[in-house]
Amino acid sequence: MSNTSFRQRHFRNVSAKQWNDWRWQMQNAVHTGEALERFVQLTPQERLGCMQSQKLFRLRVPPYVLSLMDASHPHCPIRRQAIPLPEEARCAEGELEDPLGEEKYRPVEALIHRYADRALLLCTDMCPMYCRHCTRRRITRGGHPLGEAAWAKAVDYIAATPSIREVLLSGGEPALLSDAVLERLLKKLRAIAHVEIIRLGTRVPVTLPMRITPAFARLLRRHAPVFVVTHFNHPKEVTPQAERACALLVDAGVPVENQAVLLRGINSSVRILEELFSACLRMRVRPYYLHQLDLAQGIEHMRTPLRFGMELLQQLMGRVSGLALPAFAVDLPGGGGKVRIAPEAVVSWGKQQTVLQNHEGKYHAYPEPKEGDCHCPYEEIWTITAKAKAKAKPKAPKAKPKTKPKTKPKPLSTRL
Ligand code: SF4
C-alpha cells in the first residue's frame, strides 16, 4: 500500500501537509499493541510480544512507518524491526545490559569517551521509533532525560580534553531536538578548537524522513564538517521520502553514510544486502559499516553467527562494486572495541564461541547465537513485489520526432 492510500484509508481527514510534518508524525505515533491492531493484523506472537515487552522496552511506531508495513505478513522486515516478539523478554547467555561496556567510559552523564580521539554525546533518550534490535536500550528504554544541563557538563569535559577530535551526537535520536536547540549545541562544540569533526548518528531518514527539511540540512552545513551516519537495514526502507531526505542533505553539502546491522531473518541474505547497498549508493549514501548485532539483552533471536556474516560479505564482493561494499565489524562485548571481521582477525571459529583479536592485540571470546538458520522468510515476497513495481513503473513517453517548422525561406539578402 502506498503512503497516500494508507493515509486515505486510516487518516482520511489528515492533509498531506500534516502528514509531512514530523511533529504531527510524533504526536500520532502508536505506543501499544491495541493501537497497532488498527493498522496491522497482529499474530498471537506479536500480541504477546507487545504485552511482555511493556515493562522492558518502549514501543513507538510513527504513522509513516506503519504505512510501510505489510499488514498481512508477519515476516515483513519493517514489522520485524518495529513490533516486539516474546523472545525479547528472554535474556540469552552472554547478553548484557551494557553490551559494549560503555558505562565505565562515561565520565559525565551525557558523554561516553571510549577512544582517545572520539567521544559520544548522548543528546536524548527518545527516538521516533524504538527499533526492536536497539542495543542501546538501557538508555532508550527511558528514565534518562538528558538535556542542556547534562550537555553543558559534556561540553566542558570535551573542552578540557584536547585529545578529542571527533564528537558523535547520538542518543536516542539527536534529530528529535528542535533546530534551535541543535544549533546551540553545535555552536558550543564548534567553539572548541580541537573538535574537528562532528558526526550525527540518526535514523530519521529511515523512520521519520520528514524531519529532514531544507532548514535542517542548511543548519548542519553551517557547522561543517558534519557527517550524517544513518541506519538503513532493508531496501523496503528506501522510499521516495527517504530518498528526498538524503538528497536534501547531500545537496546541501552534508556527507551521508550508512551503518546497517545484520539481522537474522530480516536482511541476512546476499540478495537483500546487494539491493540495499546499491540503493544506498544511488541515494549518494555510502555504505560504511555492516555491523554484527551486539550482545544486548533480549535480541539473540535476531543475531547471526559471526561466520555467516563474513561469508555473506565475501559473496557480496563478487556482486557489487567496491563503493557499495561496507566493512563488516563487530563491537566486542564488554568493551573490547570494534574489530573489522577479516580472516586475519579470527583466531578460532567455534559453534559456541569465536575468538577474535582486537586492535590492541588482545584476544576476546565472542559468544555465538544458538540459532543458525538465517534465511529471510519475506525475501521471496519482497523480490516479487519489487520486480512487479519496477515493471509497473510508467515508461517515459517516446519523444516525438521533431518536425521542422514550416517557415518560408527568407530571401537571401536578409539571411546574411
Ligand atoms: S533509532 Fe537507534 S537508538 Fe533509537 S531505538 Fe533505533 S537503534 Fe536504538
Question: Residue 206: is its pLDDT beyond 80?
Answer: yes
Q: Hey, whose CA ends up nearest to atom 6 of ligand 1?
A: 131
pLDDT of res. 334: 76
Residue that wins the pLDDT comparison between 35 and 348: 35
Among candidates 410, 11, 20, which has minimal Cα distance to 210? 20
Q: Are residues 82 and 146 in the same domain?
A: no
Residue numbers of the domain that contains 207: 103-386
pLDDT of res. 141: 85
Assigned C-alpha cell, 44: 498471537
Q: Which atom of ligand 1 is nearest to the CA of 135?
A: 8
How remote is the CA of residue 318 from the centroid of ligand 1, in Å?
A: 31
Q: Are residues 107 and 80 in the same domain?
A: no
Q: What is the CATH number of the domain that holds 178?
A: 3.20.20.70
Question: Residue 108: is its pLDDT beyond 60?
Answer: yes
pLDDT of res. 362: 86
Q: Are residues 49 and 140 in the same domain?
A: no
How remote is the CA of residue 258 from the centroid of ligand 1, in Å?
A: 14
Is 131 part of the annotated catalytic residue set?
yes
Has residue 395 been placed in a domain?
no
Q: Are residues 159 and 20 in the same domain?
A: no
Neighbours of 38 (CB within 10 A): 9
Q: Hey, whose CA ends up nearest to atom 7 of ligand 1?
A: 134
Is 114 part of the annotated catalytic residue set?
yes
Q: Are residues 47 and 143 in the same domain?
A: no
pTM for the predicted model, two decimal places? 0.90
Has residue 345 been placed in a domain?
yes
Residue that wins the pLDDT comparison between 260 and 399: 260
Has residue 261 been placed in a domain?
yes
Question: Residue 366: is its pLDDT beyond 60?
Answer: yes
Can you tell me the mean pLDDT for 212-230? 98
Q: Which of 39, 66, 89 is the last residue of a domain?
A: 89
Q: Are residues 8 and 148 in the same domain?
A: no
Can you tell me the mean pLDDT for 298-325? 92
pLDDT in tens, 241-268: 999 999 999 999 999 999 999 999 999 9
Has residue 216 been placed in a domain?
yes
Question: Residue 318: is its pLDDT beyond 90?
Answer: no
Question: Residue 397: is its pLDDT beyond 80?
Answer: no
Is 125 part of the annotated catalytic residue set?
no
Q: Are residues 296 and 199 in the same domain?
A: yes
How remote is the CA of residue 163 from the centroid of ligand 1, in Å?
A: 28
For the purposes of burial, counting CB atoms within 10 Å of the CB of 68, is it exposed (0-12), middle (13-18) or buried (19 or more)? Answer: buried
Is the separation of the CB atoms in 125 and 143 below 8 Å? Answer: yes
Question: Residue 163: is its pLDDT beyond 80?
Answer: yes
Catalytic residue among 106, 153, 271, 338: 338
Is 117 part of the annotated catalytic residue set?
no
Ligand 1 proximal residues by C-beta, below 6 Å: 127, 130-131, 134, 136, 140, 171-173, 203
Is the separation of the CB atoms in 135 and 302 below 8 Å? Answer: no
Number of domains within the chain: 2
Average pLDDT, the chain: 91
How remote is the CA of residue 83 from the centroid of ligand 1, in Å?
A: 14
Residues 6+ apart with CB under 8 A from 16: 7
Q: Which of 35, 65, 89 is the last residue of a domain?
A: 89
Question: Residue 77: is its pLDDT beyond 50?
Answer: yes
Instruction: For residue 341, report the phi and psi dihedrals to the nearest 5 degrees.
Output: -80, 110
Q: Are residues 268 and 335 in the same domain?
A: yes
Give residue 133's identity as a one-letter amino acid code: H
**Residue 172, preceding bond cis, omega within 30 degrees?**
yes
Can you tell me the mean pLDDT for 363-387? 89
Catalytic residue among 70, 98, 125, 331: 331
The pairing of beta strand 256-261 with beta strand 327-332: unpaired
Among candidates 115, 94, 91, which has minimal Cα distance to 334? 94
Question: Residue 345: is its pLDDT beyond 90?
Answer: no
Residue recorded with cell 488498527: 38
